[in-house]
Amino acid sequence: MILYFRLCPFFFLLVSSLGLWGEQSGGWKKINQTRGIEVYEKKVGQHLAFRGIATLEGTTEKLLGILHNPESWKNWVNHLKSGKLLEKKSDFHWVFRQVIATPFPMKDREVVYQSIVSRTHPKTVRVEMKSINHPQVPRSKDWIRTEIVFTRYLVKQYTPNQMRVTFENLSKPGGDVPEFLTNWASRSYPISILEGIQKELFKKEQKTAPLP
């Protein structure tokens, strides 16, 4: 992956994005298309929202395995300091923790979130992630707790080995972050994250997860 797209995932968590599923939802403006990945933005209050849409090669079962396997995160989550499963409530409900390294002098960011998988259509799976509190991880002064209002993946499998993936995010990073830095990074991250997932999908050793 070229340097332009190797951005710290902390900046992904800076995105304040609010959207509805579907490429033609009102207010979205297409700003970029690179190697088949479409990037959209729209103004939400004082923030720019961003969305990424791509056709990926692979199966929904494997994509779910990538998203919910902390052992694979180091391969596609840049600057990940640590990540682990806190609780598996069911095959479709997980709780995770990540610590992301951030540039000095800012403190590292900590994220505690749940991920719930559901089916919205016979060929469509939805992943909803949002921050929660968990007894295993009390708040600490060592990190700034980032709040994920939501991170969403909508995955439509339309051939045995091809799927249309849309993701959106609304997060509150905490601390003082320059808006220009947030917007600069956010325009690139949809491309980086989807290309990273695609690389993992090509790996035969990647685990799969059950479908709802």
Strand, helix or coil at 72? Answer: helix
Instruction: Centre a 10 Å sphere on the Cβ of residue 65 and count the other Cβ atoms it contains.
Output: 18
Q: Distance (Å, rounded) from C-alpha 51 to C-alpha 136? A: 32
Two tokens, residue 151: 């991170």
Instruction: Centre a 10 Å sphere on the Cβ of residue 111 and count the other Cβ atoms it contains.
Output: 23
Cα–Cα separations (whole angstroms), residue 204 to 94, 162, 195, 207: 24, 16, 17, 8
- pTM reported for the whole predicted model: 0.82
Q: Distance (Å, rounded) from C-alpha 174 to C-alpha 54? A: 30
Superfamily of domain 6-19+26-159+185-201: START domain (3.30.530.20)
Strand, helix or coil at 179? Answer: helix
Per-residue pLDDT of the chain (212 residues; tens, 9 = 90+): 333 333 344 444 444 333 333 334 568 889 888 889 998 887 766 666 788 999 999 999 999 999 999 999 999 887 889 999 999 999 999 999 999 888 777 788 899 999 999 998 888 999 999 999 999 999 988 888 988 877 889 999 999 999 999 988 777 776 665 555 555 555 677 888 899 999 999 999 999 999 99
